[in-house]
A and B are shown apart, each in its own frame.
Chain A
Amino acid sequence: MARLLENSVTRRRFLQVAGMGAAASVAVPGFLEACAQSANAPSTGSPKPATLSLYVAKDTARPQAQAQLFDMIKAQFEKENPGSSFTYDTYASAGEETTKLETASAAQEGPDIFEFGSTLVPTAYATGSFEVFTNDMWNHIGGKSIFFPPQLTMSGPSPDKLIAVPVSGNPWAMVHNKAMLQAAGISKVPTTWNDFIDAAKAMTNGTDRWGTAMAPADGFDPWHKIWLFATQMGGQLMDSTGKKGLLDSNESVEACAFWLDWMAKHKIAARQDAAFKGADEVRAFATGKIGFSVMAGPGGIGTWDNSPVAGQYEYTLGPTIPYGMSSLPSGGKPAQGFVSGQYYTLFKYSKNQELALNLLKVVVSPEIQYQYFNLRKQQPVVLDTFKKYPELKQGNWAALYDAALKAYPTPFFAAWGPLEVELGKAINKIASQIGISGSYTMTDLKSALTQVNQELQATL
C-alpha cells in the first residue's frame, strides 16, 4: 500500500483506471443479466413451488375490501398449489403504473403478473414484455369462451395476439338522481342529447342545483366524454392506422364544443366545474347537487350508498342521438361507453409463468369473480358468475350489465396514452376560459385542438 501511495500516479493513469471501472460497472450488470435470461426460460413441467409477485392497481375507495379479496385468492391459491404463495404491491396512479412498466421492460425484470387498465394494455403490448397467450394457456385458465366477450377486445390487437386476461369490468352508464328528476317533472330518462339538455335545464336553479357536472380538469374524463360524443357523431379521435391524430377533425371539434357548452351555453353545469376532477363529480352527485352524471362507472356506488342520495339514484343507458339530430348520423355508433376494466398480464421474463397461470385460474373462477362484485363493487367478467349469482343483473347492475354488452373497444393503439393527455390539455385550457369568463370562442377551441393534434402527431 505504501508503495502504491509513494509511486507516482499520473492523471492519465488515474483516468485510465477510472474509465475501466466505469466501463465495468456498465458491462458487468449487462453480462449478468444476459446470463440470467437464459436461466429464465419457462418451465414445461409442473410448476415448482414459489412465491409469485403481483403489481396491481390500488383500490383507493376500498383498500380493506381489496386486502380481503386478496386474502381469499391467496387461501384458494395456496390450497391448490401447496408450498406456493404470492405477494402483491400496489400502484395508486397512472404515473406509477407506467413507470413500473417502463423500468421492468427496460430491465427485463419485474413482477410475475402486472395489472393494467384497459387503455394501457396496448402500450404494454407494444413493449413486447408480456407473454402472448397460446390456446393452451387460455385453456389452462378455462378458455377464452368463459369471458364476457367485449372484454377480450382490449386483450390484444387481434384474437391470436392476446396478452391480457380480463379480471374485472368497469362499464359506463348514466346515473340520475330520481328525486331531482321527479321534482323537475320529468318522467322519462332522456335517450337523445336534446332531451338530456332539456331535462338538465329543468333541474338547474343556477345556484345549488345543477342538471349535471363536468370534470374537465381530470386526467381522463375529458377523453372519455369526447370519445363518446365523437363516436356517436361518426367520428374518430385517431385514424384507423394509428398514425394520424384526428383531434382537430370536425367531429372532434363538435364533440368538444357540445361538452363545453354544458357550462358555457346551456348552463346545466356550474362554472366551478372548470376545476373539477372525477372525484369532485362523484361528490357533487353524492350531495344531491346534480341530477345526472354521464358515463359513470360502478366506482361511485360505494360513495353514493353512504350518502344522502342512497336509494335515490338509478343507472340507465345514456343518450345516443347526438345533439341537434333526430337519429344517428352516417357512421355514428350508439355507443354507451368503451370497453373498460382491469386486466392481468404475464411478464415475459417471469421464471414462474406456469404457476402464474395457476393463479390466474383462481382469479377468474366464478367464486372469486363474485367477490370482486361483493367486496369491491366491481363487475365480474366471467359469464358463469352472472349465471350463478343473479344479483349481478338486478337493480342498478342490470343497466351496467347492458352497458357492458354495448361497449365499444377503443382503438388498440399504444399512442392512445399521448392522445388522452393532449386532448386533456386542450379541454383544460378552454374550460379554464369558461370558468373565468363564462364563455369561449370556437376559434379558440379549434386553435387549441389544432395545437394539441400537432403535438400528438409529433409523437406518432
Chain B
Amino acid sequence: MSIKGAAFRVAFAAGLRPWRSHRSAFPVPYWLLSPSVVPLVVIVFIPMVFAIYISLTALNQNTIGNWTQAPFVGLKHYLDGLDPRGPLAPSFYTSIKASVIFSVATTLFIHTIGVGAALLLNGNLRGRTFIRAVMLLPYIIPTFVNGILWRLVFMTDTGIADQIQAALHLGPRDTFWLIGPRSLWALILADVWASWPFIYLMALAALQTIPADVYDAARIDGATPIRIFRRITLPLIAPTLGLGIALSTINHFNNFALPYVMFGPTPPDEVNVLPLNIYVNSFITFNLGLGAAMSVVALVIMLTPAVLYLRAARVGDAD
C-alpha cells in the first residue's frame, strides 16, 4: 500500500472526508458572503477593471462623449511615464519620489508621536479624559480646513512659521515654505499634525489590552522601565503598530486633499505627489488614459506595504 493510500484510510477512519467531498459540504459560506462580495465587485473590482482598460486607451476630451470607442493605444501611457526616456518620465518619477518620501516620513513621525502620547496617557494622569479628547482635535478637523490653516501658517513673511522662526533667530522672516525644497517639510508637518492621533488611538487601544500583572511581574523581577518597554510593551503592541504602519503608508501615499489645498494644481516638484499628478492629468488636462495608467502604477506600488503587512501578520492563516 502506498503512503498516500494509507493516509486516506487513516483519514476515513478518523471521520474526515477527502478534499473534494469537503468542498461541496460547505456551500453556505459562499452564499453568506455574497451580500458583501457583490457590492465589493461592483464598487471596487469593476471600476478597477475599467481603470485598467481606460489606461490602455486614448480617453480624453475628444473621446469622452463616446468613451467606449476611445482608440486603443496599448501600453503607450505606461511607456510614456515609466520608460526613463519617455516624455512624461521626469514628471512621473518626481511624483513617485515625492509620494514615497512624504508617506514614509509622515508614517515615521506620527508613529513616534502617537506611541509616545499613548504611553503618556495610558497611566493614571489627572485630567486624562480631557487631554485625550483634546488630542483628537487635529484628527477631526476636515482636511481642507487643515490645508488652509497650514497654508496661512506658512505664508512667507506674514505666516506664523516665519514670525516664530525670526523671533527665535532660527532663520529669516522671508523664508519660503510653500515653494521650493521646504515645501516638503511644510506638507509633512501639516499632515503629521492632522494624523498622529490616529496612531495614538491605535497604540492606546493596544496598550490597554496588556494585563497589568505582566508589568507587575516584570517590576518584581527588577526590570527597568526601558527594559519593560522593549521586552513587554513593544512586542505586545507590535501587531497593532504593524497595521498602523501599513494603513498610514497607504493613506499618506494616497493623500490628495492636503497637498491640493496647500499648493494647488501646479505644486512645486517636491510636493507634486502622485495623487495630485493623477488628478491634474485626469481632471485638469483631460488626459484620462494617462491618469488611469498612473493610477494602476500607484495601485501596484501601494500593494507593497499591504502585502508586507499581510505576510508579517500572516492574516488569513488558520493557525
Alpha-carbon gap, A277 to B261, bound state (A): 13
Whether B42 lies near A22 (C-beta < 8 A) is yes
Alpha-carbon gap, A95 to B291, bound state (A): 14
B34 at interface (Cβ–Cβ under 8 A)? yes
User: Of B3-11, B173-181, B197-205, B220-228, which stretch is located at the interface?
Assistant: B173-181
- Chain A residues lying within 8 Å of B34, measured Cβ to Cβ, are 14, 18
Known contacts A22-B41, A95-B265, A272-B156: does B286 contact A102 (CB below 8 Å)? Answer: yes
Whether B25 lies near A8 (C-beta < 8 A) is yes
| Those of B277-309 within 8 Å (CB) of chain A | 279-280, 283-288, 290
A35 at interface (Cβ–Cβ under 8 A)? no
- Chain B residues lying within 8 Å of A126, measured Cβ to Cβ, are 61-62
Whether A455 lies near B286 (C-beta < 8 A) is no
Alpha-carbon gap, A98 to B279, bound state (A): 11
- Chain A residues lying within 8 Å of B126, measured Cβ to Cβ, are none
Whether B155 lies near A18 (C-beta < 8 A) is no
Q: Which 3 A-B pairs have the closest CB atoms?
A: A8-B24, A9-B27, A418-B285
From B62, B65, B174, B283, contact of A414 by CB (8 A): B62
Interface, chain A (partner B; CB < 8 A) = 4-5, 7-11, 14, 18, 21-22, 25-26, 94-95, 98-99, 102, 105-106, 108, 123, 126-129, 217-219, 271-272, 274-275, 277, 414, 417-418, 421, 424-425, 428-429, 431-433, 435-436, 451, 454-455, 457-459
Known contacts A11-B23, A22-B46, A458-B80: does B284 contact A421 (CB below 8 Å)? Answer: yes
Measured CB to CB, the nearest residue on chain A to B284 is A421
- Chain A residues lying within 8 Å of B74, measured Cβ to Cβ, are none
From B23, B61, B88, B266, contact of A424 by CB (8 A): B266
- Chain B residues lying within 8 Å of A417, measured Cβ to Cβ, are 61, 284-286
Interface, chain B (partner A; CB < 8 A) = 23-25, 27-28, 30-31, 34, 37-38, 41-42, 45-46, 60-62, 64-67, 80, 86-88, 90-91, 155-157, 174, 176, 178-180, 264-269, 279-280, 283-288, 290
Shortest Cβ distance from residue B69 to the other chain A in the assembled complex, whole angstroms: 11
- Chain B residues lying within 8 Å of A275, measured Cβ to Cβ, are 155-156, 176, 178-179
Whether B64 lies near A98 (C-beta < 8 A) is no
Whether A217 lies near B37 (C-beta < 8 A) is no
From B41, B42, B88, B279, contact of A458 by CB (8 A): B88
Alpha-carbon gap, A455 to B179, bound state (A): 22
Whether A414 lies near B179 (C-beta < 8 A) is no
With a 10 A CB-CB cut-off, give which of B46, B60, B174 has the most chain A CB atoms.
B60
Known contacts A22-B41, A102-B288, A272-B174: does B179 contact A8 (CB below 8 Å)? Answer: no
Whether B87 lies near A458 (C-beta < 8 A) is yes
Alpha-carbon gap, A5 to B67, bound state (A): 42
Whether A428 lies near B42 (C-beta < 8 A) is no
